[in-house]
Structure 1
């Protein structure tokens, strides 16, 4: 049996767990390309004790390690488990479908609340559920469009994107 003792300049275990949770939240934002959330988390760290270059490098290294060690779904489960271990009130990050509400996003967009949209996106490092919910909402709204509107919208999208994309056979469009 090996005996360990805490050194004078070592972080207490509670702070270590909080630091791991903050790192996991940063890593989730980094993995999902959510720059707003990554920057918001990083600003919180700056206010406490970190330097941008070091934090960015560590997140990059951690992202590479997770990418190589886990399939994507398992990597996300590991990161969420780390973030959930945080003591109360150490992270304000929405981590899953319970926190990322597409209805709130749609309401903010409809109201022209740019700050509200930014805040929701910044607080949601894993935007998978948010974007999925938004896609579901768009699909629900399409039948409500007047005849011809959907065709005009898709034609405009094809013009903007140079006609790229997979063509869906007519029978599957309905």
Structure 2
């Protein structure tokens, strides 16, 4: 049996899984351009003073990705090139909100214009903002629905998705008529 000794600054074994989950949350938000989720998780890390642990895990994940994707001599060249290209201000995730034309998408869906829908979705590099805009559009339309319609739509969605009744935290149940 191998005996391991924890170093003074080493992340405790029981905290590794939680830190990996936080690193995965950051990576997913970054990868999909979700600035709000990225900033929210980053703020939590700063409040809780665990940025060192998560940074360590992010570096480990990146190092493993480079190790698996490139031969050793090529991986170092790739990392050096990335380091030289880094902008001076890297405080935000680069996203492209301008390509997400949600108003045109909603109009195309309403008109049944499949070609325009496909063109708009295909031309949107970052679908996070497109989906976020659609969610905002739906939220703006909900008060305009006749009484009971939102509940019927929710019930139909539950039927289609196996009867799940869970709600997102902080979202109240639909009012009953």
TM-score, scaled relative to structure 2 = 0.43
Q: Which has the larger radius of gyration?
A: 2
Q: Higher relative contact order by CA 8 Å / sep ≥ 6: 1 or 2?
A: 1
